[in-house]
Chains A and B, each alone.
Chain A
């Protein structure tokens, strides 16, 4: 298991030390744009702070300290949204922080750090509760948790591994020459049984005790019995359950195979975010971005409510319909079946060379320059304003928007594939044009902008669906949507270019179009938030 390896690497003392200088506390200010900026400057590595490490800092940085009071003054001057103060951690890092705390607290307990560790584990890593209990009933606690034997019959030399001839283990009932283990209680079993017993319990993350009494097996015992650093696995499981129990402050990155955890220090800002229809988007160290509230991808301009309503609705749709909608289309001219294999919606039929728009299946020519009509939902019957009540019309409206949503989702996936090849393109630029890697980065940046634009566009259809179509702001929103759609298509098309020479020649266009997409996206998101704040867009069951 990968996590095991991760752990054992971190065993040495200096990795613990290093961690302090690797403080990746992220301080985000989002005055206008809820979609957190993607450049790396947001990671302010606080070197000064960590080298000047003193006790006060320790308490401030502690995971278990009460939430950091938000720097409200600053936030208010920057806009109405409070800072989203979070950090990205791994279980290993959380554990290291815990260890640091334990070393710090150890003088209070005057018992070995290993014992403090067990106490902390017992109290779900809740330092305050532990300290409270400790001051109340020290000895009782040690006995209750099993750090001290009630019936002290064995001296400490009973503890440990011994070799025995003709040992009869009462667990397996085998009589053999074997190594055995026992704690101070003297309950002695063969190592095979002990290993089997511990192995089964490592993933649970609970304290492991002697098989016959409540005396605790400490990490050193576990490692001694298992013969390698198994206790790290136990600690890992324990931290995992800690994260699960504190899901309000800690969230796993939802991306597949990502082992990072986002720790939001102050959840009070979440309510404020919700009230203003911002979403608390966060980014893990792997660059995965998601919404801290709902765990979904970046869904702006939609908020969490719209998102969940939309997703629920989409789930009702049949899988087949989705596939047909998203994967195949016939050429409007020659009816040959076409599968979309690139992100751009500008299609050229390989059979008859007809150029059309993938979304509306109309001729591409009108899309090229002036007006991008594909995102307008044409209300057939403009006279009847009671469209909301008509289920048939609702369904039609939904199908229309869902289709658009789906188109862009598929396009986004294809864009992502395009992104995979962009490295090769940059390489080609280097090899054939003598362009430096840094100089070639504009391609990667463009892909990123394209992805963000496309995601925003995608979710804007959910907003559009739930918005009151008769309202002027909705119309403005739809206009903004069209402009973004156009901008995204243009950029996507630009990114299809394969020849390095052409790419370099058109480099300024990359910059211009990316910048334009970025502007349009910001505008669309502001507009969408306006709809939400004014209650023009709200989830309904239509």
Chain B
């Protein structure tokens, strides 16, 4: 692999020295473009108290191309499908090179706080979310308990 661009080095350093609250991102030792990410469920959302594992990959063209982000932890959310793929504008058409890993992860966290069932990726979840919001949120809470429970050390 070509040497790591300065931009990625700087971003990585800053993620470690000045981490975003509720979010961790650590690069793999053997591939510095690949990050293990955890995002805490935002308070007040059905995902509260959950810790979600994600993977983040910086493509060769980064920052001209958006990073690729995917949930590894199972999650019940109208904009996240069963494979963990995320429907988020800044990961697609609204990506700009001025955005960063940290801003993207913050957007992901914000998506957990405010799901958008009108622009769904997981259609069944979105339908439930629109028709029976309370029920859908209960399911989301249940899944959070089941799959994203904080492991106390």
B7 within 8 A of A: yes
If the complex has contacts A173-B6, A174-B6, are A212 and B64 also in contact, measured as CB distance less than 8 A?
A: no
What is the CB-to-nearest-CB distance from A174 to chain B, in angstroms, rounded to a whole number?
A: 5
Tell me whether A211 and B6 are in contact (CB under 8 A).
no
In the bound complex, what is the Cα–Cα distance between A136 and B98 (angstroms)?
33
The residue from B5, B64, B98 contacting A170, defined by CB atoms under 8 A apart: B98
If the complex has contacts A187-B98, A197-B97, A212-B98, are A171 and B63 also in contact, measured as CB distance less than 8 A?
A: yes
B36 within 8 A of A: no
Tell me whether B5 and A172 are in contact (CB under 8 A).
yes
- What 1/0 mask marks residues of chain B from 52 to 68 whose CB sits below 8 Å from any chain A CB? 00000000010111000
In the bound complex, what is the Cα–Cα distance between A211 and B65 (angstroms)?
12
B60-118 contacts to A, CB under 8 A, are 61, 63-65, 96-98
Residue of A nearest to B63 (CB): A171
Report A-chain residues with C-beta under 8 Å of the C-beta of B64: 196-197, 200
In the bound complex, what is the Cα–Cα distance between A187 and B96 (angstroms)?
13
In the bound complex, what is the Cα–Cα distance between A173 and B5 (angstroms)?
8
Report A-chain residues with C-beta under 8 Å of the C-beta of B28: none
A161-203 contacts to B, CB under 8 A, are 170-174, 187, 193, 196-197, 200
Report A-chain residues with C-beta under 8 Å of the C-beta of B5: 172-173
In the bound complex, what is the Cα–Cα distance between A212 and B5 (angstroms)?
20
- What 1/0 mask marks residues of chain A from 206 to 247 whose CB sits below 8 Å from any chain B CB? 000001100000000000000000000000000000000000
Residue of B nearest to A211 (CB): B98
Report B-chain residues with C-beta under 8 Å of the C-beta of A171: 7, 63, 97-98
What is the CB-to-nearest-CB distance from A195 to chain B, in angstroms, rounded to a whole number?
A: 10
What is the CB-to-nearest-CB distance from B63 to chain A, in angstroms, rounded to a whole number?
A: 6
In the bound complex, what is the Cα–Cα distance between A211 and B7 (angstroms)?
15
What is the CB-to-nearest-CB distance from B140 to chain A, in angstroms, rounded to a whole number?
A: 33
Tell me whether B7 and A212 are in contact (CB under 8 A).
no
In the bound complex, what is the Cα–Cα distance between A260 and B64 (angstroms)?
33
Report B-chain residues with C-beta under 8 Å of the C-beta of A174: 6
Tell me whether A173 and B97 are in contact (CB under 8 A).
no
In the bound complex, what is the Cα–Cα distance between A170 and B6 (angstroms)?
10
If the complex has contacts A197-B64, A200-B64, are A173 and B7 also in contact, measured as CB distance less than 8 A?
A: yes
The residue from B6, B61, B65, B96 contacting A172, defined by CB atoms under 8 A apart: B6
Report B-chain residues with C-beta under 8 Å of the C-beta of A172: 5-7, 63
In the bound complex, what is the Cα–Cα distance between A212 and B98 (angstroms)?
5
- What 1/0 mask marks residues of chain B from 1 to 29 whose CB sits below 8 Å from any chain A CB? 00001110110000000000000000000
In the bound complex, what is the Cα–Cα distance between A430 and B97 (angstroms)?
65
In the bound complex, what is the Cα–Cα distance between A200 and B96 (angstroms)?
12
In the bound complex, what is the Cα–Cα distance between A97 and B137 (angstroms)?
54
Residue of A nearest to B96 (CB): A211
In the bound complex, what is the Cα–Cα distance between A193 and B64 (angstroms)?
8
In the bound complex, what is the Cα–Cα distance between A533 and B7 (angstroms)?
69
What is the CB-to-nearest-CB distance from B2 to chain A, in angstroms, rounded to a whole number?
A: 14
Tell me whether A211 and B10 are in contact (CB under 8 A).
no
Report A-chain residues with C-beta under 8 Å of the C-beta of B6: 172-174
In the bound complex, what is the Cα–Cα distance between A170 and B14 (angstroms)?
13
In the bound complex, what is the Cα–Cα distance between A301 and B26 (angstroms)?
68
Tell me whether A193 and B10 are in contact (CB under 8 A).
no
What is the CB-to-nearest-CB distance from A206 to chain B, in angstroms, rounded to a whole number?
A: 9
Report B-chain residues with C-beta under 8 Å of the C-beta of A211: 96-98
- What 1/0 mask marks residues of chain B from 31 to 67 whose CB sits below 8 Å from any chain A CB? 0000000000000000000000000000001011100
Report B-chain residues with C-beta under 8 Å of the C-beta of A187: 98
Report A-chain residues with C-beta under 8 Å of the C-beta of B9: 173
What is the CB-to-nearest-CB distance from A49 to chain B, in angstroms, rounded to a whole number?
A: 43
In the bound complex, what is the Cα–Cα distance between A200 and B93 (angstroms)?
13
Apart from the given pairs A171-B63, A174-B6, 8 other A-B contacts in the complex at a CB distance below 8 Å? A172-B5, A172-B7, A172-B63, A173-B6, A173-B9, A187-B98, A196-B64, A200-B65
Question: Which B residues are within 8 Å of any A CB, using their own CB?
Answer: 5-7, 9-10, 61, 63-65, 96-98
* 25 contacts across the A-B interface (CB closer than 8 A): A171-B7, A171-B97, A171-B98, A172-B5, A172-B6, A172-B7, A172-B63, A173-B5, A173-B6, A173-B9, A173-B10, A174-B6, A187-B98, A193-B97, A196-B64, A197-B64, A197-B97, A200-B61, A200-B64, A200-B65, A211-B96, A211-B97, A211-B98, A212-B96, A212-B98
Listed from nearest, the 6 A-B pairs whose CB atoms lie closest are A212-B98, A173-B7, A173-B6, A211-B98, A173-B10, A171-B97
